[in-house]
C-alpha cells in the first residue's frame, strides 16, 4: 500500500468529539437563575397523546401561566413559586424506557431543570425512579398508575401526587356491590399489558372478597391498540355476564364502546369503565344509560364544586374549549403540590429554598387541588392518596350526566402505609389501625 496508512480510528474519534461538541452547543448556558425550570414529560405523539398527554400538557400550560400571573385562587395567590416565575420545558414521553431515561438525564444534567414533572406510562415511572435517585433530582410522577413504585421500593427524590391504580379497581368493586347487589357473573376486557393485567386482577380479587359466589365468565386481554374487538365482544356476550369490567383508555376504549353498543353488549351487561371519563367528552350519546364510569379520582365531571376547581375548569375551557379531563387534573395536582411544598419550605423568608428543603416540606404534605385536598400519606410521605368517585351515565337531552354518584374516602379504598395493595385486598380491606 502506498502512502501513509491513516488509522481508521481518527474518523471515529473525530466524530465523537465533534458530535459531542455539536450537541453541547444548544445546551442553554447557565439558565436564568431567577426562574424555576420544570421539565414536563407527557405523551405528545402516539396513541396516548390525544386522551392523556396533550390534555395534561394543556393543563400544565394554562396553570403555569396563571401561577406566574398570580391568578390562581387561594391558597395559591402568590405569583410564581414564592415569587419566582416558573418555566416549563416540554418533552415527548414516546419512544420507550431507554429513550426516556436518556432524555431524563439530558433534562437534568444538561438542561439543568430544577424539577421534573411527568410520566403517564408505569414502565417509564419504574425506570425513571432509580435514575432520579441517582441524580438527586426532585421528580414528581403525575399520572402513572402502578402501585409498585412505592410498594416495592422507597425513594427520597421521587413523589407521586395522585393515587395509584389499585384504588380505581377496589373502588369499582365497591361501587358494583353497592349499586348492583345482584351481580354475580363478571367478565373483563383489558389491554394485554401491565396496566390492564393489574386492573383486572385487582378488580377480580376485590369482587371475590366482597361477595361469595362471584363467577368469571371470561377475561379478554386483547393487544394494546388492537382496534378490532368483534370476536372479544362475541366472547363477552356469550357468557351473558352481569358486569363487564374494562380499564381501556383512549382510542381502544372508543373503539370498544362503538363496536359493542350497536350489538347490545352493553345493554345486557353493565360496563364498568374505570377510565371512562376521558371518553365521555366525545362519546356522549353512545354510552348506554347505567354504564359505570370512573375518572381515577374526583376529577373532571366528578370534581368538587370549589373555587380552585371552578377556576381551573374556566381557565382550561377558555383556551381549549373542552373541559379538562382527569390527566389534566392529575397534572394540576403535581404542579400545585410542588408549589405548595416550595412555598412551605420558603416559609416567611424570600430566599429560594434548597431542593432538600422542598423535599422535606413535600413529605407528608396535605395540599389543596382542583380535585380537593390531597394527602401525601403513603410511601413514607411520597405517595398521594385521594378519595375517588364512581357514577352511572345517564343521557339527558343528548347530554351525558351522572346519577348514583358515590364518593369513597381515601382510607376506604387505599391500603394503609406499609401494606401492599394486593395483600390488602386479600386480607379483606382492613382499615388502618
Contacting another protein within 2-61 (CB under 8 A): 2-3, 5-13, 15-17, 19-20, 22-24, 26, 44-47, 49-51, 53-54
Q: What is the 3-state secondary structure (H, E, C) of 185-226?
A: EEEEECCCCHHHHHHHHHHHHHHHHHCCCCEEEEEECCCCCC
CB 208 within 8 A of CB 223: no
Among 232, 277, 343, 386, binds another protein (CB under 8 A): 232
Among 70, 262, 364, 418, binds another protein (CB under 8 A): 262
Q: Minimum CB separation from another protein for residue 269, in Å?
A: 12
Tell me the C-alpha distance between 274 and 188, whole Å.
12
Q: Specify which residues 116 forms β-bridges with.
A: 39, 139
Tell me the C-alpha distance between 261 and 258, whole Å.
6
Question: Does the footprint of another protein cover residue 269 (CB under 8 A)?
Answer: no
Q: Minimum CB separation from another protein for residue 283, in Å?
A: 8
Among 68, 73, 179, 193, binds another protein (CB under 8 A): 193
Question: Does the footprint of another protein cover residue 240 (CB under 8 A)?
Answer: yes
Question: Does the footprint of another protein cover residue 373 (CB under 8 A)?
Answer: no
Among 192, 317, 354, 426, binds another protein (CB under 8 A): 192
**Binding to another protein in span 120-149, by CB under 8 A:** 122-123, 126-127, 129-131, 134, 146, 148
Tell me the C-alpha distance between 147 and 417, whole Å.
12
In the shown chain, the binding pattern of residues 413 to 432 toward another protein, with x for contact by CB under 8 A and - for none, equals --------------------
Give the CA radius of gyration of the chain: 23
Q: Among 222, 224, 190, which residue's Cα sits nearest to residue 204?
A: 190
- What DSSP character marks residue 81? B
- The residue with cell 364510569 is 293
The neighbour count for residue 2, using CB atoms within 10 Å, is: 4
Among 34, 231, 403, 432, binds another protein (CB under 8 A): 231
Q: Minimum CB separation from another protein for residue 256, in Å?
A: 9
User: Of 2 and 74, which has the nearer Cβ to another protein?
Assistant: 2
User: Of 53 and 372, which has the nearer Cβ to another protein?
Assistant: 53
Amino acid at each position: 500500500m502506498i502512502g501513509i496508512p491513516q488509522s481508521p480510528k481518527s474518523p471515529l474519534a473525530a466524530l465523537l468529539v465533534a458530535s459531542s461538541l455539536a450537541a453541547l452547543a444548544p445546551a442553554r448556558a447557565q439558565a436564568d437563575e431567577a426562574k424555576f425550570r420544570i421539565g414536563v414529560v407527557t405523551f405528545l405523539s402516539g396513541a396516548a397523546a390525544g386522551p392523556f398527554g396533550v390534555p395534561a400538557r394543556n393543563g400544565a400550560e394554562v396553570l403555569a401561566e396563571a401561577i406566574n400571573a398570580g391568578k390562581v385562587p387561594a391558597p395559591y395567590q402568590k405569583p410564581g413559586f414564592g415569587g419566582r416565575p416558573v418555566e416549563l420545558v416540554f418533552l415527548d414521553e414516546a419512544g420507550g424506557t431507554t429513550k426516556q431515561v436518556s432524555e431524563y438525564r439530558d433534562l437534568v444534567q444538561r438542561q439543568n431543570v430544577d424539577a421534573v414533572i411527568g410520566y403517564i406510562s408505569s414502565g417509564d415511572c419504574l425506570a425513571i425512579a432509580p435514575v432520579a435517585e441517582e441524580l438527586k433530582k426532585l421528580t414528581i410522577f403525575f399520572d402513572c398508575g402502578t402501585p409498585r413504585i412505592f410498594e416495592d421500593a422507597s425513594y427520597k427524590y421521587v413523589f407521586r401526587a395522585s393515587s395509584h391504580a389499585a384504588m380505581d379497581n377496589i373502588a369499582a368493586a365497591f361501587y358494583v356491590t353497592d349499586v348492583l347487589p345482584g351481580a354475580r357473573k363478571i367478565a373483563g376486557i383489558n389491554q394485554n399489558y401491565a396496566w390492564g393485567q393489574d386492573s383486572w386482577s385487582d378488580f377480580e380479587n376485590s369482587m371475590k372478597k366482597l361477595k361469595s359466589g362471584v363467577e368469571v365468565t371470561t377475561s379478554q386481554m386483547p393487544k394494546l391498540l388492537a382496534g378490532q374487538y368483534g370476536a372479544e365482544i362475541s366472547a363477552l356476550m356469550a357468557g351473558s355476564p352481569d358486569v363487564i369490567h374494562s380499564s381501556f383508555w383512549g382510542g381502544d376504549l372508543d373503539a370498544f364502546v362503538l363496536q359493542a353498543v350497536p350489538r347490545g353488549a352493553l345493554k345486557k351487561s353493565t360496563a364498568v369503565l374505570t377510565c371512562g371519563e376521558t371518553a365521555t367528552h366525545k362519546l356522549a350519546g353512545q354510552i348506554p344509560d347505567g354504564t359505570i364510569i370512573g375518572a381515577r379520582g374526583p376529577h373532571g365531571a366528578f370534581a368538587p364544586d370549589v373555587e380552585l376547581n371552578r377556576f381551573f375548569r374556566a381557565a382550561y375551557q377558555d383556551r381549549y374549549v373542552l373541559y379538562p379531563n382527569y390527566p389534566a387534573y392529575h397534572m394540576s395536582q403535581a404542579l400545585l403540590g410542588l408549589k405548595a411544598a416550595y412555598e412551605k419550605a420558603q416559609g416567611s423568608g424570600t430566599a429560594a429554598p434548597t431542593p432538600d428543603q422542598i423535599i422535606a416540606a413535600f413529605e407528608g404534605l396535605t395540599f389543596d387541588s382542583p380535585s380537593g385536598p390531597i394527602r401525601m400519606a403513603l410511601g413514607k410521605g411520597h405517595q398521594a392518596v385521594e378519595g375517588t368517585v364512581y357514577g352511572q351515565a345517564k343521557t339527558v337531552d343528548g347530554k351525558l350526566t351522572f346519577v348514583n354518584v358515590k364518593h369513597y374516602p381515601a382510607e376506604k379504598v387505599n391500603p394503609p402505609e406499609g401494606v401492599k395493595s394486593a395483600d390488602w385486598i386479600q386480607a379483606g380491606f382492613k382499615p388502618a389501625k
